[in-house]
Amino acid sequence: MVMRKDLATAMNARILGSGKETIVLAHGYGGDQSVWDDILPDFTARYTVVLFDWCFSGAVKDPTLYDPVRYSSYDGFAEDLICVVEEMKLKRCVFVGHSMSGMIGCIASIKKPQLFSRLVLVGPSPRSNFHTLLSAVLLLQVVCNHLIAL
């Protein structure tokens, strides 16, 4: 089992570019950090960019890293994100999360707001519990009713 202090290495974390502002790019489910390859040249010309692979990614070589109990909710992933950001000594980074990573970034930023300056959510998934999904559906109904009234 990987010790949490070595998590950034186990999750293939790497730093590219050398800008004043740091952007952390987090891929969604079923992908790995290569999903960002097309935008990296533009981003690394202006920013310091941090990439990593979630433990479920096929790019992570240690099969013992994934713990089904720990990752039965987004909280385990949020703790991993916090650990990677702290281990890499990042301060006030911009977090860009695709799909489920968007929600993971939201949770991490609530737990440790001092680590994040902004969140960018790219096609974020809803938090997977009934009450949150119900709230989202009710909010969508309110928004739709408001738009119809206009």
At 148 the pLDDT is 47
CATH classification of the domain holding 138:
3.40.50.1820
For the chain, how many structural domains are there in total? Answer: 1
Report yes or no on whether pTM surpasses 0.85: no
Q: How far apart are CA 16 and CA 33, in angstroms?
A: 12
CB-CB contact of 27 with 60 (8 Å): no
d(CA 4, CA 80): 8
Alpha-carbon span 118 to 95, nearest angstrom: 6
Tokens of 133: 């999904």
User: Higher-confidence residue: 68 or 150?
Assistant: 68
48-94: pLDDT as tens digits: 999 999 998 889 988 888 888 999 889 999 999 999 999 999 999 99
> Confidence class of residue 3 from pLDDT cuts 50, 70 and 90?
very low
Structure-block tokens of residue 67: 């713990």
- Residue 92 domain boundaries: 4-149
Q: Which two tokens stand for residue 103?
A: 């929600």
pLDDT in tens, 5-18: 689 999 999 999 99
Q: Which two tokens stand for residue 11?
A: 């999750």
Q: Which are the contacts of 130, defined by CB distance < 8 A and separation ≥ 6?
A: none
pLDDT digits (tens, 9 = 90+) for 96-127: 999 999 999 999 999 999 999 999 999 887 65
